[in-house]
């Protein structure tokens, strides 16, 4: 499973970073960066929570 972001919708509220900082981070321009690659099985429930917590609905999970 992978996580993605729609940068045109993301407003960098940071909810996802507080839930899963190993995957989500802001760069120097305050643009959300997502670690590439597959999520570990342990990260999937946290990523689901991060996606659900995004106030803008900018995050998505894909197989």
DSSP string, 31-56: -EEE--SPPPTTHHHHHHHHHHH-TT
Tell me the whole-structure pTM to 2 decimals.
0.90
Q: Determine the pLDDT at residue 46.
A: 98
User: Which residues in the chain land under pLDDT 70?
Assistant: none
Burial of residue 20, with CB atoms counted within 10 A of its CB: 0-12 exposed, 13-18 middle, 19 or more buried: buried
Q: Determine the pLDDT at residue 26.
A: 92
Which tokens is 18 given?
């507080």
What is the spatial distance between Cα 28 and Cα 45, in angstroms, rounded to a whole number?
28
Q: Determine the pLDDT at residue 10.
A: 96
Q: Determine the pLDDT at residue 37.
A: 93
Q: Determine the pLDDT at residue 14.
A: 93
Q: Determine the pLDDT at residue 23.
A: 97
């Amino acid at each position: 499973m992978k996580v993605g972001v729609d940068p045109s919708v993301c407003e960098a509220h940071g909810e996802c970073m507080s839930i899963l900082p190993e995957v989500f981070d802001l760069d120097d321009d305050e643009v959300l960066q997502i670690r590439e690659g597959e999520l570990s099985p342990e990260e999937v429930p946290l990523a689901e929570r991060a996606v659900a917590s995004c106030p803008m609905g900018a995050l998505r999970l894909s197989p």
